[in-house]
């Protein structure tokens, strides 16, 4: 390979393809799904409506959305074969590993598994969007010796997830907070998991396999899990009074403070103000300001001392904690949202496919003659 060619470590700054799904404007700190701003979608839309947008490339008419939601509701029931396999797993199984296995089983029982036609992939995508929340909730329940809970007709995806996780129906505002967070996490261009999914799709492997690859990528701590580690940090700090000395000590020891900065956004994450506002309102309604106050104080210190801004994961952590969601399933909940973006990208890749096959620059030993084993 030509030594003059520059190498971009981690493909940073490299445009690896074209997509009509999502626009990340890093200079203006703005995010759009099919041309609609994330702030407006979070304020005026629902997760189901955004899922439709990502699958079909347009906002639905009222009748279309009603039909779409009815179909999702019909697909929420998880096949028994999936739970049969989950029950064979050790109870300590990582929830992300359980998800990969469950989606592999879903592929084997999906009536469209053998087809890569667009209509079949739409149906497979809807089944995944509908069933992943139930799998997450009921795997958690199984791992904690609780019986599985079936989805409840008439509830949204967000409300049903909280219902299955808790075994009791959540309040409307709680469901709304989770719904909005799912919108915020739904799509984000060529991130590591989405790119992994597109690489698999480019080989013309099936949609479920591409989603499993995306989950495997998201399991890595450099991509997913930041909101879990933010909450672990908040729990360790313990109180507003401890924030300043804890953060000061962490910065002195060059410990990374999770939930700040972003690989793409150089100024601010446009999703952060939305989730911050929801976390603040949730804390007030629940009468528990502690986690929000701690978070706000950490954010100010990081802004003042490091010039770093909170990303989506930072305030999501305390919001999820106030929703009584176990910290161990924060990243799987990311999957329940981001699967909408993954399947959109997978289908886009299929529709204009070229095998993704980059090159590498060789830096190994010089060429040499082979020496027979008896002469070495």
What pLDDT, on a 0 to 100 scale, did the predictor assign at position 1?
45
Q: Is 94 assigned a catalytic role?
A: no
Share of the chain above pLDDT 90, in %: 90
Which pLDDT band, with edges at 50, 70 and 90, does 140 fall under?
A: very high
Q: Selecting from 1.20.1440.230, 1.10.3720.10, 1.10.230.10, 3.40.50.720, what CATH number does the domain 226-322 have?
A: 1.10.230.10
Which is nearest to 316 in space by CA: 341, 286, 352, 282?
282
pLDDT by residue (tens digit) across 86-134? 999 999 999 999 999 999 999 999 999 999 999 999 999 999 999 999 9
What pLDDT, on a 0 to 100 scale, did the predictor assign at position 4?
54
Q: Specify whether domain 19-222+327-351 bears CATH 1.10.580.10.
A: yes
Which pLDDT band, with edges at 50, 70 and 90, does 5 fall under?
A: low
The residue with greater pLDDT, 246 or 262, is 246
Q: Is 12 exposed, middle or buried (0-12, 13-18, 19+ CB in 10 A)?
A: exposed
Active site residue: 208, 262, 309, 345, which one? 262
Share of the chain above pLDDT 70, in %: 99
pLDDT by residue (tens digit) across 306-365? 999 999 999 999 999 999 999 999 999 999 999 999 999 999 999 999 999 998 889 999
Domain ranges of the chain: 19-222+327-351, 226-322
Q: Average the pLDDT over 364-371 and give the result.
A: 96
Which is nearest to 343 in space by CA: 129, 133, 132, 183?
129
Q: List, in order, residues 6 or more apart from 225 with CB less than 8 Å away.
A: 219, 330, 331
Residue 12 has pLDDT above 90, yes or no: no
What pLDDT, on a 0 to 100 scale, did the predictor assign at position 8?
79
DSSP strand pairing (36-37 vs 22-25): unpaired
Reading across the β-sheet that carries 30-33, which strands appear in turn?
22-25, 30-33, 36-37
What pLDDT, on a 0 to 100 scale, did the predictor assign at position 327?
97
In this prediction the pTM is 0.94
Q: Average the pLDDT over 166-182 and give the result.
A: 97
Q: What are the helix (H) ranges across 15-61?
A: 38-44, 47-56
Q: Is 179 assigned a catalytic role?
A: no
What pLDDT, on a 0 to 100 scale, did the predictor assign at position 313?
95
Distance CA 305, CA 310 (A): 13
Q: Average the pLDDT over 174-200 and give the result.
A: 97
Q: Locate the DSSP E strands across the chain.
A: 22-25, 30-33, 36-37
């Amino acid at each position: 390979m030509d030594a003059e060619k520059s190498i971009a470590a981690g493909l940073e700054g490299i445009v690896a393809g074209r997509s009509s799904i999502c626009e990340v404007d890093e200079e203006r700190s703005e995010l759009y799904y099919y041309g609609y701003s994330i702030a407006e979608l979070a304020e005026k839309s629902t997760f189901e409506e955004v899922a439709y947008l990502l699958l079909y490339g347009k906002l639905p008419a009222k009748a279309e959305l009603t039909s779409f939601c009815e179909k999702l509701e019909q697909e929420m029931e998880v096949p028994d074969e999936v739970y049969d396999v989950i029950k064979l797993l050790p109870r300590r199984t990582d929830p992300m590993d359980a998800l990969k296995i469950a989606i592999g089983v879903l592929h084997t029982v999906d009536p469209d598994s053998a087809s890569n036609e667009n209509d079949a992939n739409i149906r497979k995508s809807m089944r995944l969007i509908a069933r992943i929340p139930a799998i997450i909730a009921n795997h958690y329940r199984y791992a904690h010796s609780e019986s599985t809970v079936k989805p409840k007709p008439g509830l949204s995806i967000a409300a049903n997830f909280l219902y299955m996780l808790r075994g009791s129906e959540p309040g409307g505002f709680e469901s709304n907070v989770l719904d909005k967070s799912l919108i915020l996490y739904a799509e984000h261009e060529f991130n590591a998991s989405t790119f992994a999914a597109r690489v698999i799709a480019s080989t013309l492997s099936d949609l479920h396999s591409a989603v499993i690859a995306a989950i495997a990528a998201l399991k890595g701590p450099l991509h997913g899990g930041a909101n879990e580690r933010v909450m672990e940090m908040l729990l360790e700090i313990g109180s507003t009074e401890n924030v300043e000395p804890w953060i000061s000590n962490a910065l002195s020891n060059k410990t990374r403070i999770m939930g700040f900065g972003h690989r793409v956004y150089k100024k601010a994450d446009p999703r952060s103000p939305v989730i911050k506002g929801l976390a603040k309102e949730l804390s007030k309604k629940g009468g528990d300001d502690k986690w929000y106050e701690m978070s706000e104080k950490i954010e100010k210190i990081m802004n003042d001392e490091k010039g770093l801004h909170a990303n989506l994961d930072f305030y999501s952590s305390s919001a999820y904690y106030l929703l009584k969601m176990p910290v161990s399933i924060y990243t799987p909940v990311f999957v329940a949202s981001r699967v909408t973006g993954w399947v959109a990208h997978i289908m886009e890749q299929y529709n204009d496919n070229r095998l993704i096959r980059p090159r590498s620059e060789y830096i190994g030993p010089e060429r040499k003659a082979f020496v027979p084993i008896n002469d070495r």
